[in-house]
Amino acid sequence: MLIAYDSEGKKVGEGEKDVILTNLTPGTKYDVGSFKLVLSNGEYESAKVDVPAFETLPIKVTGVELNPKSGKIDIGGKLKMTVKVLPESATNKNVTFKSSATDIMTIDDKGEVSTVADVLTGESNITVTTVDGNKTAVSKIYIKTSDEA
């Protein structure tokens, strides 16, 4: 509730007023007094008051992309997967990786696929999953055979 007073301290009005703060960081806590408000009618200005503590809402993940969408890896080789979390402004971009055939190839927490030693053929579905929203994308990766260029 806002209450307005004139220069002699006489109450001249009251009501509610929306306040919009811009350029805030999503998913962030702001302490009391991080911002101050002043009511002005062009001629008079109120005392500054602290904005109460508040937290901005996070920007939720809506999807994820994994590249390459399919590919081949050399025997004993490595392949770096790239991830794009959507929207690009999402607050929590953390992801996890999983290989459907860990006896053929593995993937580390940075998205690097490696073939298992002594495995000469095979394939695995590599899945990326977002921590926020549980969105997934899958790529099928094959081990190149010796006769492939």
CATH class of domain segment(s) 63-143: mainly beta
13 against 137, higher pLDDT = 137
Q: Give the dihedral sign, CA 19/20/21/24.
A: positive
Least trusted range by pLDDT, from 17-21, 47-51, 91-95, 99-103: 17-21
Compute CA 148 distance to the chain's CA centroid, rounded to the nearest angstrom. 39
Confidence of residue 143 (pLDDT cuts 50, 70, 90): very high
Considering 29-38, 56-65, 112-121, the range whose residues carry the highest mean pLDDT is 56-65
Q: Where are the domains of the chain?
A: 1-57, 63-143
The pLDDT score that the predictor gives to residue 15 is 67
DSSP annotation string for 37-103: E--B-SS-BPPPEEPPPEEPPP----EEEEESSEEEE-TT-EEE-EEEEESTT-S---EEEEES-TT
Tell me what the mean pLDDT of segment 14-25 comes to: 79
Q: Name, in order, each residue with C-beta under 8 angstroms of 125's C-beta and a sequence gap of 6 or more.
A: 99, 100, 101, 138, 139, 140, 141
* Nearest in space to 138 (alpha carbons), one of 149, 130, 127, 124: 127
CA distance 81 to 104: 17
Q: What is the mean pLDDT of residues 37-45?
A: 81
Q: What is the rounded average pLDDT for all residues in the chain?
A: 89
Confidence of residue 99 (pLDDT cuts 50, 70, 90): very high
pLDDT per residue as tens digits for the range 51-71: 889 999 999 999 999 999 999
> What's the whole-model pTM score?
0.73
Cis peptide before 26 (omega within 30 of 0): no
